[in-house]
Chain A
Amino acid sequence: MVLHTRVCAVSVSVLVWLLLGCSLRHASQDDIDCLKSIKDSLEDPFGYLNSTWNFNNNTEGFICRFTGIDCWHPDENRVINIKLSDMGLKGVFPRGIEKCKSMTGLDLSSNSLYGSIPSNISDLIYFVTTLDLSSNNFSGEIPPALANCSFLNLLKLDNNRLTGSIPPVLTLLNRMKTFSVSNNLLSGPIPSFNDTITAEDFAHNPGLCGKPLDLCRSTSGGPKTGIIAGAAVGGVTVAAIGVAIGMFFYYRRMVAMRKKDDDPDGNKWAKSLKGEKGIKASYFNIAISDLS
């Protein structure tokens, strides 16, 4: 009986060990694939990645020696930070980053990346705490999905060509201490972030308005003018119709009153006729016969 339980215990622990080992290896391969995908999708004209991003060496922790890559542990292929700032890299946002599932810091600033920031960005970099995409050529709108990256402490999107408005949901990022969208092509009202984010962080956007910048002005042919004009036209039209209806009824009343003056008894005679049927008719008959 003791032997049986001992064998059970040993086999269970072996199974657990294997499963643990399996999951660890799986994570490791994901991170390698992540970096391979980044290297394949970005142009590297100055060869910054070429020199150290060598995938032929397969020892444990080899990706930790890559330029710009920090690992959770020096001997384990699990990426914690990707810092590829100022390397002249060209291309769109590398979606393969999704496979670096333990990544918390992404810095792609000061490169020549273009295209839009993926609209499902929170599926790609959910755990990120610092995201720096500043000083690139990113265009399109700021994806509201960024609000799902709830661990963001720093979000820098400044010095790009982003358009549209700042999604109000971004104010839900309650860990965010640094947020910058200056030097873009953003417009519309600024949602209310906390006081650590100042006017400088929104500056140099031709259409952005609201605190901490100048208040949004409602004149200058904006949608509000149209609404007021439409209301005025609508009101006058309805008023005119109302007056017309009123005049119509008034006119009818006038006409009716004039008819009454011509015939003071009105239709009294006709009415009395209508009222007595049989007796009146017989009276009439007698009258006629008397006449003849």
Chain B
Amino acid sequence: MMERLISVCLWLILVSRVAGNAEGDALYALKTKLADPNNVFQNWDPTHPNPCVWFNITCNAENSVARVDLGDANLSGQLVPELGQLANLQYLELYSNNISGTIPEELGNLTSLVSLDLFSNALTGPIPAALGKLRKLRFLRLNNNSLTGQIPMSLTTIVSLQVLNLSNNRLEGDIPVNGSFSVFNPTSFRNNGLNNPPVAPQSPAIPSTASTLSGSIAIVAGVALLFSAPTIIFA
């Protein structure tokens, strides 16, 4: 009886430690795939109960990772699909590095994400359509990379999008103008192989004053003809 209780207790402790480290494991997977000459990962210790004490990581009140701030950190290497496991992540800041490879479609699982900044890197491949699942996204800045393919239409369904920058890539196809993309102008799409959106029709509406003038002239002519015709005939 006592032995059973102790083993259950030990098992619970083990499970809790493993659960506490799930986000840490995900972040640690990122560390293994990136080269870090500036040593920004110096205290990223996987034996910690949670990653909240790691440099450049910010947690929320429930000790869950909310921010990853690794912008301008001289990093190179590739992103990892494990990043998609950070369920409460709001800010993913990996801009201005030399990160290559593709954008993992698992980033579409970050349903709390507010800001996705991967700009100024060496990323290739397409923009995953799965990013359309980021229903709270406000800032999407993927500019200055070598991204290819078309802009996924799923992005036009993100109603919270405020700032979009896809410029300076190798994207092609049409620029969506529907949904949330109605508020984006060519500044967001510069320097790509994209087709310009259709231009609005230029024929102006005929103002109503001209038609009344022509109408009145017709009235005068008609009345005059009506009166003078019989007299002329008689003459």
Contact = CB atoms under 8 A, between A and B. Distances in A.
Interface stretch (B60-68, B103-111, B203-211): B203-211
Contacts of A189: 208
A191 interface: yes
Contacts of A177: 182
Contacts of A249: 235
A171 B226 contact: no
Contact of A151 (B163, B185, B234): B185
Given A72-B163, A73-B165, A239-B228, 18 more contacts: A72-B165, A104-B187, A130-B183, A168-B204, A168-B205, A169-B204, A172-B201, A175-B177, A228-B219, A231-B216, A231-B219, A234-B224, A238-B228, A242-B227, A242-B228, A245-B232, A246-B235, A248-B235
Contacts of B235: 245-246, 248-250
B170 interface: no
A280 B233 CA distance: 45
B200 A172 contact: yes
Interface size classification for chain A: 35 or more
- Among A70, A127, A130, A242, the most chain B Cβ lie within 10 Å of the Cβ of A242
Interface size classification for chain B: 35 or more
Interface in B179-235: 182-187, 199-202, 204-205, 207-208, 212-213, 216, 219-220, 223-224, 226-229, 231-232, 234-235
Interface of B: 72, 95, 119, 141, 163, 165, 177, 182-187, 199-202, 204-205, 207-208, 212-213, 216, 219-220, 223-224, 226-229, 231-232, 234-235
A40 to B, nearest CB: 25
Interface in A176-211: 177, 189, 191
B139 to A, nearest CB: 9
Given A72-B163, A73-B141, A234-B224, A153 B183 contact: yes
A239 B224 contact: yes
Contacts of B184: 104, 129
Given A168-B204, A242-B232, A250-B234, A234 B119 contact: no
Contacts of A47: none
A210 to B, nearest CB: 9
20 contacts: A72-B141, A75-B72, A104-B184, A129-B183, A129-B185, A169-B204, A169-B205, A172-B200, A173-B200, A175-B182, A224-B212, A224-B216, A227-B212, A234-B224, A239-B227, A239-B228, A241-B228, A242-B227, A245-B235, A246-B231
A241 B207 CA distance: 36
A174 B178 CA distance: 11
A129 B200 CA distance: 15
